[in-house]
Amino acid sequence: MKGFLIGFLLLLMSFSGMSQELFIHNEPASVLPKSSLAFRSIHQFYKEDGLLRSRQALRVTRGMTAKWELGIEAGLSNHNHPNLVSELYDDGDLDHDHDHGGDNVNVEHIHPTSFTGFTLYSQYRFFTDDGPNQHLRAAVYGILSTNRTTHNYAEPNLYHRNAGLSSGLILTWLKKRFAASGRLGGIVPFGFSPKENNRYFRSGNALGYSLSLGYLAYPRKYQSYKQVNINFYLELMGKAFQQARIRDEIRWYPALAEDETSPGGYLDINPGVQFILDSRFRIDISTGFPLISRSMAMDYPQFHLALQYLYF
């Protein structure tokens, strides 16, 4: 699989020649046209312990000005269990045989689908150098998440797990059929108090990064807005994060070391294909695999489907 992906990456990079920067997972530095409104439904799936984990979200984004867009996303997921795993902290009885009985038995298998919260997204394009069939652009973005789900991951995720803040920079280069975009941002999750538990849990602070490549494969020559556009994407995405922390009535301290709570980092690779119909309806399909290390918060392969309609 890795060989195939690297081959795909090289193939993509070897094309030179109109491009696409309407990346599936990452926003380009460009923002939506002023007063336009994009509605996107997002569906993500992966299998874990024979169970299908899924996340469904709806995102609405509006071009507020020529350079500024503002979006809100709300979602449901069954990724999380209702109680904090008690192995993460020293509960005083020093009995850590992982057989706590009561609410925490088999928490790994309790996955009710629930509303996870809202994520607000704002992006401002501050640098633009446009040329014939090309541009170089830079933008700054900010994210505010109210998501609040119980979990035990050091890795923060402002789109369905953690409340928190994030901000960073995006640099996008587009030349004819090819587009490349890099993103780097900091993530500061807020702590939360799981249900029926006196402890607070806080994922680690993190750096999020991505490199997205896009290629317009069809049409070779435009004839009308009605022509289907087919774009191929390869997106490398990852995070590096600090250890999770727990707070009791007195102080914060590092969560007891587990794979999920330990500091770490990873880089995933997400090949994808996109169909654009009628120059306004997008169908995004992609899969995700670990490239360097892996995320402890999700399993692989991941499948992603998104549908977006853009009202101008």
Give the interface with other proteins as residue ranges (CB under 8 A): 18-20, 22, 30-36, 63, 65-67, 125, 128-135, 174, 176-177, 216, 221-225, 227, 229, 276, 279-280, 282, 310, 312
Residue 257: alpha-carbon gap to chain centroid = 25
Rank residues 25 and 125 by Cβ distance to other proteins and give the closer one: 125
Q: How many C-beta neighbours within 10 Å does residue 100 have?
A: 16
The distance of closest approach from Cβ of residue 185 to other proteins in the complex, given in angstroms and rounded to an integer, is 22
The distance of closest approach from Cβ of residue 224 to other proteins in the complex, given in angstroms and rounded to an integer, is 7
Which tokens hold the place of 49?
Answer: 């312990």
Residue 302 contacts residue 46 (beta carbons within 8 Å): yes
Closest CA to 181 of 11, 26, 13: 26
Residue 280 contacts residue 309 (beta carbons within 8 Å): yes
CB-based contacts of 307: which residues, under 8 Å, 6+ apart?
40, 41, 281, 282, 283, 284
Rank residues 134 and 146 by Cβ distance to other proteins and give the closer one: 134
Alpha-carbon distance of 21 to 5, in angstroms, equals: 20
Rank residues 56 and 134 by Cβ distance to other proteins and give the closer one: 134
Rank residues 112 and 132 by Cβ distance to other proteins and give the closer one: 132
Alpha helices by DSSP H, 15-159: none
Alpha-carbon distance of 173 to 166, in angstroms, equals: 23
Rank residues 19 and 86 by Cβ distance to other proteins and give the closer one: 19
The distance of closest approach from Cβ of residue 273 to other proteins in the complex, given in angstroms and rounded to an integer, is 15
The distance of closest approach from Cβ of residue 70 to other proteins in the complex, given in angstroms and rounded to an integer, is 15
The distance of closest approach from Cβ of residue 84 to other proteins in the complex, given in angstroms and rounded to an integer, is 44
